[in-house]
Amino acid sequence: MTNIEKKYGLAIHTTSPELGLAISNFGENTRSKTWNLGRDLSTCLHQKLQDFMPPQTWQELSFIAIAKGPGSFTGTRIGVVTARTLAQQLNIPLFAISTLAIIAWSYKQKSKILSLEMSAQRNQLFTAIYQVKEMGINSLLEDKLMNPIEWEKILKNWETSYQLIQVENSLGKSVVSLLELANLEWQKGNRPHWSEALPFYGQHPVNN
């Protein structure tokens, strides 16, 4: 087979102890799987990828999507590095998407404003506010690390109604939403180069 049609997208979610992988041709064939790997995620990721891909091949991928954080420092780093390496070797676009944006999209409540908070180190919070749209999401308050008092003040003064989402630590299951968001960007004609994919850590790791 000389000309393999590139019609699949692959999503990799490593920002929590739960690894999530998803692949789809955005038609009749979509697969996803999660593993609760804990601290073994960094050592098991490559083997899980190899086991997950068949019957599809790497050459059938048109793009890759990666959750860029916030989340686990180690998991985020290894995920972004792996995705960048794969996208570079395959010469395909790489979409790096916010962990909080992925969660917002998973709620699928169109035109709803969602405030998201996720626990961080040293009694801090990762925060963001997104509006879910038909063809993606709008960032109303970009991902940011802040203390709970500052965050509470922002929410208290927010002028429109919103739903507050407390993001859990098991994030791998949202990998399908990651793939969906990347595909929406693909359909809009966006083709980000792998070198543009940068992790969002928010803070330096402490026993992460």
Which has the higher per-residue pLDDT, 74 or 2? 74
| Burial tier of 139 (Cβ tally within 10 Å: 0-12, 13-18, 19+) | middle
Find the mean pLDDT for residues 88-110: 92
Q: List every span in the chain annotated with CATH 3.30.420.40.
A: 8-99+170-196
pTM, two decimals, is 0.92
Q: Is the pLDDT of residue 96 over 60?
A: yes
Rounded to whole angstroms, the Cα distance separating 127 from 70 reads 9
Helix, strand, coil percentages in the chain from 3-state DSSP, rounded to 5: 35, 30, 35
Q: Give the confidence band of 1 by pLDDT, cuts at 50, 70, 90.
A: very low
Q: Is the pLDDT of residue 177 over 90?
A: yes
Per mean pLDDT, which range of 55-64, 75-84, 195-204 is the poorest? Answer: 195-204
Architecture of domain 8-99+170-196: 2-Layer Sandwich (3.30)
Beta sheet of 30-36, edge-to-edge order: 30-36, 18-24, 8-13, 61-67, 94-97
Rounded to whole angstroms, the Cα distance separating 147 from 10 reads 35
Q: List every span in the chain annotated with CATH 3.30.420.200.
A: 100-166
Q: Is the pLDDT of residue 109 over 70?
A: no
Name the amino acid, one letter, at 80. V
Find the mean pLDDT for residues 140-160: 95
Are the CB atoms for 196 and 52 separated by under 8 Å? Answer: no
Which has the higher per-residue pLDDT, 69 or 5? 69
The β-bridge relationship of strands 30-36 and 18-24 is antiparallel
Q: Give the confidence band of 207 by pLDDT, cuts at 50, 70, 90.
A: very low
Distance of CA 197 to the CA centre of its chain: 12
Q: Is the pLDDT of residue 208 over 50?
A: no
Are the CB atoms for 18 and 35 separated by under 8 Å? Answer: yes
Name the amino acid, one letter, at 86. L
Architecture of domain 100-166: 2-Layer Sandwich (3.30)
Q: Is the pLDDT of residue 204 over 60?
A: no
Helical H segments across the chain, by residue range? 41-52, 73-90, 99-106, 148-156, 175-187
